[in-house]
Structure 1
Amino acid sequence: MKKLVLVFALMAFSLVSFAQLRYNLEIGEKYGLKQLTIQDITQTVQGMTQNIKNTIGGDLLFTIKSKDGNVYTSDFVFASLIFKMESPMFSMGYDSNDSNQEENEMTKLFKSIVGYSFTMKFNDKGEILEVDGFEKLMEKVKAESGGQASGPIQESLKSQFSDESMKQSLASMLIVYPDGKPKTGLSWNTTIEQSGAMPLISKYNYKISSANSSVVEMEGAGTMATKEGFSQERMGMTQHFDLKGDVTMNAKINAKTGWPITIKQTQDLSGNVSIESAQLPAPMEMPMSIKGESTFSEF
């Protein structure tokens, strides 16, 4: 009997070791991810140090609509959304769970995002192919405001909530799985590009630390840097970004569905932002560091 039990145990281990890890999701089912990102930014301007804290979070609910070959089509909504920027100079924010907050252009735009249905296509490896709906929503908000919603706040949000930028942001929530078998010690590389106000490129080396029939645990480490040569025009000034540092990741994955159970990511960047303007006699150097932590968990 002991030998028979051992045989079954070895068979179970073999199935885990030799089945590819893929997203195996049910049509019509809902899958949730709760996100929370906290960033502490320190920058020095003309000898004065400024500290800024950013908080970004929300509950994303995905509904699998169809599957064509190995490509899923999913609707998803922000069931809740929170955004805060805090510094000694100013504070601004939005929380969809706070019904008493002041209504302004920014809160109206965030409010329009909550509950709105967007579309995402991704394959069973976790590669996001297409995100649609954010630019349509921005046009809808602009039309409803009589074309008035076109200030700097909306322009900033458009860079964060465009179809392409959200495609890249969601890439950090869905891990891209390798072609190899999900066994302990398997490693692979992934590159994630994020656009927005400060485009970042992350290069991870993932490794499976343990695997069984229920849960696959993995860890990762790598580098993150601003896109080489990136600069932007803002309020008559040209800003050049040069930041780089380390990133880490730990995750637990549902071995049957491939859906994340928990993901924790950290970033530690430092470098410099150079500012050029016709009003400045010489470029102004602004040392900057960013320490951040992001967590994702199923709900």
Structure 2
Amino acid sequence: MKNIITCCIALLLTTASYAQKQKIELSLVKGQTYNQRLASDMTMIQNMQGQDLNIKIGINALMSYKVLDQLDTVYIISCKYESLSMKMEMPNNTMSVDSENPKEGDLLSKMMAGMKKNTFTMKMTKKGRIVEVKGIEKLFEGLSEATELPAAQLAQLKAQLSQSYGEEAFKANMEMSMAVYPKIAVNVGEKWITKGKLKSGMTADIETTYTLKDVTSDYYLITGISKITTTGKDVNVNNGMKMIYHITGDMTSNIKISKITGWMANAVIQQHIKGHTEIPPTAQLPDGLSLPMDMSNKMTLSEQ
């Protein structure tokens, strides 16, 4: 009888903890620094002139976020790249760049090393929404030191980097990873929807349905299922060439959030997109060009 009563009490306590609504949000401390490491392994298959071109890209980046101040529900944060590296494997060619090992003549590694020298700021709400990003253009100030390119080419390079990694792109991509938090308290099993944009080389709409799957003593465990679509209207310019993306895809996320800080302790994100890139007619391409593509990407976010 005693064992039965004990089991009943344990069951009641477990049921009560699951029935309790969870208020999931950031709870950062002024003066503290929080890290986020990204490891991305992408495989892209692009069809060119009837032949499949396989490209593998691996990216590793470590960023630090220092909380400078808090105004009501908004944090003012200083952001800094601590390290950056990329490896690209293409047929008959492999390229590696690393901010920690910039060799003589390695322009891209020097550029990445230069990006570590400066910081920029962002304002982020307790719910992971990015209100403002300022000063990110300072990251590209070191380009003049890293390269002896003519002024016109240097200006073009800065413009391309700004388009892919500038304030709007960083704001959208950071929010895509951080806007996980529900607007209201939720129970285990409850769902909520967030909408955002992907801006990195191409612009796409992302709608994600998140679910609070479990609550442990230390973490909130959240899953996400996303749909990715492009409108086919946004025109991106790459090396002076207009490119329009017609893409659809999906993404699944498994996320672990600290109950103490609300900071993302770990996340594994699987992404798959498919479609084609349209190059409108030009003097060099009177008939234009359509390039089918298929891309898979596994991203891991962690505190270390």
TM-score (norm 1): 0.88
Q: What corresponds to 1:296 in structure 2?
A: 301
Match of 1:164 among 165, 168, 173: 168
Q: What corresponds to 1:246 in structure 2?
A: 250
CA pair 13-260 structure 1, distance change in 2 beyond 3 A: farther
CA contact (8 A) 2:35 2:65 kept: yes
User: Is 1:258 paired with 2:262?
Assistant: yes
Structure 2 residues not aligned, in runs of 5+: none
Residue 223 of structure 2 aligns to a residue whose secondary structure is strand
How many Å separate the matches in 2 of 1:274 and 1:228?
9
Q: CA deviation at 1:98?
A: 2.5
Q: CA deviation at 1:237?
A: 4.0
Residue 254 of structure 2 aligns to a residue whose secondary structure is strand
Counterpart code for 1:74: I
User: Is 1:10 paired with 2:2?
Assistant: no
How many Å separate the matches in 1 of 2:294 and 2:14?
50
Q: CA deviation at 1:179?
A: 2.5
CA contact (8 A) 2:213 2:222 kept: yes
CA RMSD of aligned residues (A): 2.9
Q: What corresponds to 1:67 in structure 2?
A: 70
Q: CA deviation at 1:35?
A: 0.6
CA contact (8 A) 1:80 1:114 kept: yes
Q: What corresponds to 1:224 in structure 2?
A: 228
Match of 1:30 among 21, 29, 33: 33
CA contact (8 A) 1:216 1:253 kept: yes
CA contact (8 A) 2:40 2:59 kept: yes
User: Is 1:58 paired with 2:61?
Assistant: yes
How many Å separate the matches in 2 of 1:116 and 1:249?
31
User: Is 1:95 paired with 2:98?
Assistant: yes
Q: What corresponds to 1:111 in structure 2?
A: 113
CA pair 258-152 structure 1, distance change in 2 beyond 3 A: same
Counterpart code for 2:159: E
Within 5 Å, give how 1:184-203 maps onto structure 2.
Answer: 184-203=188-207
Counterpart code for 1:120: M
Within 5 Å, give how 1:132-171 maps onto structure 2.
Answer: 132-139=134-141, 141-142=143-144, 148=151, 150=154, 152-171=156-175
CA contact (8 A) 2:27 2:262 kept: yes
Residue 260 of structure 2 aligns to a residue whose secondary structure is coil
Q: What corresponds to 1:206 in structure 2?
A: 210
CA contact (8 A) 1:213 1:256 kept: no
Q: CA deviation at 1:92?
A: 3.4
Q: CA deviation at 1:205?
A: 0.5
Q: What corresponds to 1:42 in structure 2?
A: 45
Q: What corresponds to 1:271 in structure 2?
A: 275
Match of 2:85 among 82, 87, 92: 82
CA pair 131-15 structure 1, distance change in 2 beyond 3 A: farther
CA pair 274-19 structure 1, distance change in 2 beyond 3 A: closer
How many Å separate the matches in 2 of 1:238 and 1:224?
21
How many Å separate the matches in 1 of 2:245 and 2:12?
54
How many Å separate the matches in 1 of 2:88 and 2:159?
17
Q: What corresponds to 1:124 in structure 2?
A: 126
Q: CA deviation at 1:120?
A: 1.5
How many Å separate the matches in 2 of 1:134 and 1:269?
28
1:49-97 per-residue CA deviation (whole Å, 9 max, x = no partner) reads 1111122221111111111101111112111111233212544332123
CA pair 238-172 structure 1, distance change in 2 beyond 3 A: closer
Within 5 Å, give how 1:173-192 maps onto structure 2.
Answer: 173-192=177-196
Counterpart code for 1:110: M
CA pair 43-59 structure 1, distance change in 2 beyond 3 A: same
CA contact (8 A) 1:106 1:154 kept: no
CA contact (8 A) 2:26 2:261 kept: yes
Percent same amino acid at aligned positions? 26
Residue 177 of structure 2 aligns to a residue whose secondary structure is coil
CA contact (8 A) 1:19 1:182 kept: yes
How many Å separate the matches in 1 of 2:186 and 2:216?
9
Q: CA deviation at 1:279?
A: 2.9
Residue 176 of structure 2 aligns to a residue whose secondary structure is coil
TM-score (norm 2): 0.86
